[in-house]
Chains A and B, each alone.
Chain A
Amino acid sequence: MNENHYDVIVIGAGPAGLTAGIYLARGKMKTLILNEGTVGGQMVLTHEIANYPGIEKISGFQLSRTMRNQATAFGAVIKSNIKISKLSLNGEIKSVEINNKETFTAGVVIFATGGKSRNLSIPGEDEFKGKGISYCATCDGDFFQDKNIIVVGGGNSALEEAVSLTKYAKSVTIVHQFDHFQAFDHAIEEAKNNPKISMMMESKLAEFIGTEKLEKVKIQNQSSNEIVEKPIDGVFILIGYEPNTEKLKGIIALNARNEIVTNDKMETNISGVYAAGDSTAKQFRQITTAVADGTIAALSAIEYLNAQKIKDAA
């Protein structure tokens, strides 16, 4: 077989993909892991992980490095910062083209593409990224000492980060599109009781304005449609995550939220194609659930390939 043929290609190198890689490579499967972004996925966004059993506290970066080292030590090949340019999943041999030039084939493909933070996609967002607009309160909070800032979002992370940003900021305005928050009661209470925090409900940011850096925003009220301009030093956008499945639309079965539909073996609707982690339809999205999915997908894939071998030999 040619050197670009693998037993399994895993797409995505977050905890789900890396775990699948560990199990597959340890199970003597020739394994290729292809990753569009940074190895570790959303784990890298986490400063401290304190709920991964067996490890009291670890940074997301360190846990990623360890999982990556485990996967490569067992023989998995990882290619990161690549772009998937073509997918062909039907038939016994699947093929994946990267960067419009190199093609890899395999008997099984596992999608572990996770999720990404949502952008607002409004005018000025790209221009003022890092010049007033941030997606990471822990990273950039200290640039806003005694400044007036906005946190956009109404979930747990938006409310928790709004509270933590009050350590630095003079004032924090939470701008949320609905008339209620989608967060735990304690997180809502804590934000409401913080004297530095005010709230603009049923409101959406419409535009970022500035010259060399962000100076003001346009905010639109959702019920009256009235637009106000608010001078501001910084905006933190914390509006949740969406599954990385754009490339799979029309290729494998997705639900209404664009999450990959799987059965209890993490099989998709296509034979020999599995999925694991945050990109799949499920209720709880954690590292523990991602590694569990990755394990199940890998073991199911091994079972599938062994069954194929018996079938081909018969």
Chain B
Amino acid sequence: MLQTNLTHLTSEEKFNQTLKENENVMVCCGRMGPMCIPVYEAMEELEPTYKNVKFADMEFDSPTGNLIRSLPETKNFNGLPFTVYFKNGKVVKATSSIQSMDQITNILDSNFTK
């Protein structure tokens, strides 16, 4: 399990349930590596402010990680982490590699109304 304080999506069932129960979901699929940790930390810090968004992580190398790895939106990605934003279960944005706090908040603000 990833060492973060985010919701861990450890099974397909939990992933589907999270998408079903939450209108806006941000999933960061990575490892405990240098490019991923800053994204998890930004998500942890945004969580109290963005009550309208569910922030979750997923282990890249786990079988569940395949749910993100196999999305058409991530097919050209080759930099960890793969971060995917879902609205009503549909992908609205996906990014590859490290993202800054500003980049993340811009995506949240432009895709998820508060």
Contact = CB atoms under 8 A, between A and B. Distances in A.
A139 B35 contact: yes
B38 A139 contact: no
Contacts of B32: 59, 61
B81 to A, nearest CB: 9
A81 B97 contact: no
B16 to A, nearest CB: 26
A47, A60, A139 pick with most chain B CB within 10 angstroms: A139
A139 B78 contact: no
Contact of B33 (A38, A131, A138): A138
Interface residues of A, number: 29
A134 B41 contact: no
Main secondary structure of the interface of A (DSSP, over half): loop
The size bracket of the interface on B is 20 to 34
Interface string B17-56: 0000000000000011111111001100100000000000
Is the contact region of chain B dominated by helix, strand, or loop, or is it mixed? Answer: loop
A131 B34 contact: no
A123 interface: no
Given A134-B97, A138-B33, A37 B79 contact: no
Contacts of B38: 37-38, 44
B1 interface: no
Contacts of A40: 37
B41 A130 contact: no
Interface in A81-104: 81
Nearest to B40: A38
A71 interface: no
Given A60-B34, A130-B95, 17 more contacts: A39-B41, A46-B34, A61-B3, A81-B42, A129-B79, A129-B97, A130-B77, A130-B96, A130-B97, A131-B96, A135-B98, A138-B34, A139-B34, A139-B35, A140-B97, A213-B76, A213-B78
